[in-house]
Structure 1
Amino acid sequence: MVKKAENIIVGISIGDLNGIGSEIILKTFEDIRMLELCTPVIFANVKIISFVKKHLESTLALHGIDRLDQIVIGKINVINVWQEGVEINFGANDEKAGKYAIKSFVAATKALKEGLIDVLVTAPINKYNIQSEGFKFPGHTDYLDQELEGNALMMMVQDNLRVGLMTDHIPINEVSSNLTEELIIKKIDTIKQSLIQDFSINKPKIAVLGLNPHCGDGGVIGNEDDTILKPTLKKIFEKGTLVFGPYAADGFFGSQQYDKYDAIIATYHDQGLIPFKTLSFGNGVNYTAGLNKIRTSPDHGTAYDIAGKGKADYNSFKEAVYLALDIFNSRNQYAEISEKPLKTKEK
């Protein structure tokens, strides 16, 4: 059954309490029309959000709840993940902020797994202060990959520009050893399926960037492009996937070749994110493709330098909400079409 727009429950993890997460969340829902598109549930504590609201002189009305069966459609719900008071020190990097960021995120992920919320949008965390005995993950994506079914792939999205990552949060000196035929096939399969079911692109065209400068120049600057990428992409193409490359990364974006493809896969983090963030003008979204549930986030960090000053740009977070809703609807349509039997002509 297709949900009405306002009945789509958007779970929101609060992120680092000392960063700009609370501010961009509140600013996003100051436009009351957002409540016609979804019902937000902020995983935090209503006293904390009220404190930030007062600090920012926001007039938003909040609805505090202790259980998810108390959600009121059309209200900005805040579920009390914890009861104790927490001191906020805007701009400070401390372990307490990381502890509560993870409490919020873990609770929201559990609700997502159990189907109590429809999509998850995560506010920025600090990857350093979240580390603990109970949480040893580089970030959101790795935890979601463990908790949710599928193969997580980090994809940056802004309108028709989609950049996926073959490898993400690993040191640069480990990229080459991680580029195996198995990984390449898995990541391309994941992004292809996401383009079909999440973005309604029936026959997607995918470009892959080379690892080395000029794709190795025939082995002069490394041989991974010739020995690993090219033969693997050829094998995938011959099985019917429209995958092309590897392309030299430096000229690919400068010549606007990216306009010809439904998605681009970069071999490592900065190769993809630097051009993406340059082209997306602060409106990009980080989407975790390949999972059985939907999670998006803004494409920026905690921004400690402007936290609490009312200066944070909320556009990326708002776009993250929009994208989560679009993908939710696309997946529903895909599921509906997939379940319908093909009509045959009567003899």
Structure 2
Amino acid sequence: MKKRKVAILGATGLVGQRFIQLLENHPYFQISTLAASQNSAGKTYKEAVTWRLNTAMPDSISDMLIEECRPTFHCDYVFSALPSSVAGPIEDMFVNAGYTVFSNAACHRMDANVPLVVPEVNWQHLSLTRYQTTPGVIITNPNCSTVGLVMALKPVADLFGLEEVNVVTMQALSGAGYPGVSSLDIVDNVIPHINGEEQKLTSEPLKILGNYNEHEGAIDFAPFKVYAQCNRVPVVDGHLLSVSVKTKEKVSITALIDAINNFQPLKGFNLPSAPEKPLIYLPQSDAPQPRLHRNLGGGMTVSMGQLVQYSDRSLRFLALVHNTIRGAAGCAILNAEMYEAMNG
């Protein structure tokens, strides 16, 4: 098949670099445009960026000139890695010019007719795009911690229903971008506050795990409650979530572990970025750990562990998500692959 041309907005940041890394040699998509701030526009990518990943900068993009974030690109899809502080009006400009935008920013996630998607959980919500009235469309992926949370909750919700969720996050430094958190703040420390994170974790899962109302072109939000407390910890990559759940029905740990390890809702779609095992249960008493398990499934697998039943209708577990791969660029690319499978 002929590859789709794609542009990356915010290409010099950490998430932008992840997009470039993950799109190298992609069978569906080819990077045709890199865009960033006015300070970087006109420079080659290698001149403008400080490459922070542990793989080499792809030769195919190192000499590519960076353009300004204006809707003048010849491409099929736009991936936005822009920070939420500037993303809204720029993404609107592209959508109003007819582009299909896959956004990692928070600006439009909770808009009524904008899909907020983790494909393994709610790919059906992509159909919301038909109710957008702009010349182009926008599709969003959630906050990086939300991605791990909803993937881990999905088999629990399907088996037993959800009544209440309490989550405490231990979030990696890369989630704050570069240069991020000062070393004098984070070394020998945990920072028990991340601006805006708790609100995202308490609202986004209800949309993602809600039901698509095809007749009204809307999402009926899930009715359970989410309570969150977020912490920044001295880990480079990998958000660890400690989750306690009250369920509607009686819990079976055996059935849940079996559902986790057989969770393959995208198996029939043949999507290049979809891991063979989107969820995996690790039975070891000291798992999951960011350094050991964040790169499972190429960083696209969410690992779970420490599953304990408290009562007939309550349990707890740990979930680990690679925040810049599955929680950011990788999820947006998988959304684009799913959208292409539905509409291509």
TM-score norm. by structure 2 comes to: 0.39
More strand by share: 2
- The higher-RCO structure (CA 8 Å, 6+ apart) is 1
Q: Which of 1 and 2 has greater Rg?
A: 1
**Higher share in helix:** 1
TM-score (norm 1): 0.38
